[in-house]
């Protein structure tokens, strides 16, 4: 089964985004970035007296998508190629 050139380049980009990280590495990265965002919010509250919690929700969704969507798409692609 051949993969069209355009979709192959998309999967190559996903591979580059994921960087050969496994699930636990992605989970660890997500946890670290989440902690840094929380610390940034605490810093913003204490120094500038401005609560940035309204921004954390959408950013957490985008960070989750960044860490987990490429991994799961590549995982599904690998399973399909091993089945066929």
The structural domains of the chain, with segments of one domain joined by +, span 20-83
Instruction: Output the pLDDT for position 1.
Output: 47
Q: Is the pLDDT of residue 4 over 60?
A: no
Asked if 16 contacts 71 with a C-beta cutoff of 8 angstroms, the reply is: no
The CA distances from residue 8 to 1, 40, 42, 76, in Å, are 13, 38, 43, 14
Query: What is the C-alpha separation between 21 and 80, in angstroms, rounded?
Result: 19
> By percentage, how much of the chain surpasses pLDDT 90?
61
Cα 53 to its chain centre, rounded Å, is 20
Instruction: Output the pLDDT for position 8.
Output: 75
Instruction: Output the pLDDT for position 7.
Output: 65
Q: What is the pTM of this model?
A: 0.80
């Amino acid at each position: 089964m051949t993969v069209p050139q355009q979709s192959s380049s998309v999967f190559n980009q996903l591979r580059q985004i994921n960087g050969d990280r496994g699930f636990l590495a992605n989970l660890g990265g997500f946890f670290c970035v989440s902690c840094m965002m929380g610390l940034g919010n605490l810093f913003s509250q204490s120094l500038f007296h401005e609560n940035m919690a309204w921004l954390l929700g959408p950013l957490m969704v985008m960070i989750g998508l960044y860490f987990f969507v490429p991994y799961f798409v590549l995982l599904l692609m690998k399973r399909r190629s091993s089945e066929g």
